[in-house]
Amino acid sequence: MPHAVSPAPDSTHRSLTRFLIEEQRAGHLNPELRLLIEVVARACKRISVAVGKGALGGVLGDAVAAGGDGASINVQGEAQKKLDVLSNEILLEANAWGGHLAGLASEEMDHSQPIPDAYPRGNYLLLFDPLDGSSNIDVNVSVGTIFSVLRCPEGVAEVGDQHFLQAGREQVAAGYCIYGPSTMLVLTLGHGTHAFTLDREQGSFVLTQRAMRIPEETREFAINMSNQRHWETPMQDYVRDLLAGSEGPRGKDFNMRWIASMVADVHRLLTRGGIFIYPWDRKDPGKAGKLRLMYEANPMSMLVEQAGGAATDGRERLLDVLPGQLHQRVPVFLGSKREVEEATRYHVTHDSATK
Ligand SMILES: O=P(O)(O)OC[C@H]1O[C@](O)(COP(=O)(O)O)[C@@H](O)[C@@H]1O
Ligand SMILES: [Mg+2]
Ligand SMILES: [Mg+2]
């Protein structure tokens, strides 16, 4: 007997636009922020098309420096991929004329950009990682865009980097778009975390999961194990105990996953739980971590907390970290609440024992 096709859930028919209007009516956002989210979502659709074309679009491989002399390097000292540059341009172009921003900042730009006087200006600041997981672009593995929205402080005539340096708890919205087997937008406005799937035929994002919840307990961790020998002692201890499984102090077996696209690793833990960790390591002791606070750690922390999870830098809540620089790096521990608390406990206990 053929299997019956289960009826589409009610939420399948709610577009992002309708969802945002309903959230506006509920007092969760104003028309300016609604427009901002719509513009970012539209830009993500364009990036999704470019990513989807792959080799046919001529977008794979490294970007070439202006003047054609060698690889193009960003402010972080990392070689840029063609899609890093293209995604950045798409987001800049889409948002510059939106009328909802006072300024924007990106992983791929040395400094923030104020909205020029000739353009309509708004009250928000937008930060983004235009393409996260760059090392996966050329091997056809999921990548994504991460974004964070802050309020521009009042009375600012010309926006500069210093106006972006606000703790993550000040974010009014955060989200990511994952370009995987399906393209999904995951969004929070501070009232839960919600997932939308791109209907490619209709060209619109459709609400497919309202109020995502991360299970509090997990048996799955995500970390780049090749850095193990460079970690500090409490990190070594924590992972040693995970690997000891049911024979160790944790009393249960753990599974490991590492996609090396933060967007994809976080999407998995928002879907079925888990802990994602990129700790400080001694490979480059001058760097406080690999991931960037303002457009990677902060938006992901807000999404995870809004879904019932937790996010720390191994010691403190990430959303309470006061940034000192636009491109500041930070250790990241986020996901299932109990597991993040456990990993954080190893660090805090070690610190007080060695004080
Ligand atoms: O190469 P590694 O050490 O596995 O690091 C992977 C991490 O680096 C990142 O790719 C950094 O992001 P970008 O690609 O935006 O620079 C994360 O998405 C990912 O979690
Ligand atoms: Mg990134
Ligand atoms: Mg990036």
Nearest-angstrom CA–CA distance, 131 and 270: 19
| Pairing outcome for strands 193-199 and 143-151 | unpaired
Q: Does the C-beta of 261 come closer than 6 Å to ligand 1?
A: yes
- Give yes or no for residue 264 CB within 6 A of ligand 1: no
User: What DSSP string describes 256-299?
Assistant: E---S-HHHHHHHHHHH--EEEE---TTSTTSS-SEEIIIIIHH
Q: What is the pLDDT of residue 278?
A: 98
Taking the centre of ligand 1 as the mean of its atom positions, its distance from the CA of residue 291, in whole angstroms, is: 7
Digit-coded pLDDT (tens) for 133-166: 999 999 999 999 999 999 999 988 889 999 999 9
Report the alpha-carbon distance of residue 13 to residue 35 in Å, rounded.
Answer: 21
**Confidence at 1, pLDDT banded by 50, 70, 90:** low
Provide, rounded to the nearest whole percent, the portion of the chain with pLDDT above 90: 81
Question: Quick one: pLDDT at residue 65?
Answer: 79
Check if the beta carbon of residue 241 is closer than 8 Å to that of residue 248.
yes
Ligand 1 centre distance from Cα of residue 45 (Å)? 22
Per residue in 258-275, pLDDT (tens digit) is 999 999 999 999 999 999
> Does the beta carbon of 281 sit less than 6 angstroms from any atom of ligand 1?
no
| 191 vs 186: CA distance, rounded Å | 13
Q: CATH 3.40.190.80 spans which residues of the chain?
A: 220-353
Tell me the C-alpha distance between 131 and 138, whole Å. 13
Give the pLDDT confidence score for residue 292 in this predicted structure: 97
pTM of the model as a whole = 0.95
Compute the distance between CA of residue 177 and CA of residue 144 in angstroms, rounded to an integer.
5
Sign, CA torsion 254/193/162/326: positive
Q: Is 144 in the pocket of ligand 1 (CB under 6 A)?
A: no
Ligand nearest to C-alpha 87: 3
Angle between helices 31-53 and 16-25 (to 10 degrees): 160
Cβ–ligand 1 distance for 262 under 6 Å, the answer yes
For residue 52, the tally of other CB atoms under 10 A from its CB is 13
Q: Which residues contact 76 (CB under 8 A, 6 or more apart)?
A: 107, 292, 327
- CB neighbour list of residue 259: distance below 8 Å, 6 or more residues apart: 133, 136, 141, 142, 222, 265, 268
Under CATH, what is the fold of the domain 10-209? Fructose-1,6-Bisphosphatase; Chain A, domain 1 (3.30.540)
Using CA atoms, how far apart are residues 51 and 261, in angstroms rounded to an integer?
14
Alpha-carbon Rg of the chain, whole angstroms?
Answer: 20
Q: How far apart are CA 233 and CA 169, in angstroms?
A: 29
DSSP string, 38-78: HHHHHHHHHHHHHHHHGGGGT--SBPBPTTS-SB-B-TTS-
Strands 329-330 and 291-292: antiparallel
CA atoms within 13 A on the CB side of 20: 19
All CATH 3.30.540.10 domain ranges of the chain, comma separated, are 10-209
In tens, the pLDDT along 165-216 reads: 999 999 999 999 999 999 999 999 999 999 999 999 999 999 999 999 999 9
Which residue has the least CA distance to atom 2 on ligand 1? 260
Whether residue 142 has its Cβ less than 6 Å from ligand 1: no
> Could you read off the pLDDT of 218-230 as tens digits, one per residue?
999 999 999 999 9
- Ligand 1: centre distance to CA 331 (Å): 13
Please report, in range form, the residues annotated as the binding site for substrate. Answer: 132-135, 224, 290
Q: Is the pLDDT of residue 7 over 60?
A: no
- Going from the Cα of 288 to the center of ligand 2, the distance in angstroms, rounded, reads 15
- Mean pLDDT over 275-282 rounds to 96
ipTM: 0.98
Mutation to probe ligand 1, out of 47, 127, 135 (largest number of atoms < 8 A from CB): 135
- Give residue-wise pLDDT tens across range 31-45: 999 999 999 999 999
Atom of ligand 1 nearest to the CA of 78: 16
31: three-class secondary structure by DSSP: helix
CA of 131 to the centre of ligand 2 (A): 6
142: CA distance to ligand 2 center in Å?
12
Q: Provide CATH code, domain 220-353.
A: 3.40.190.80
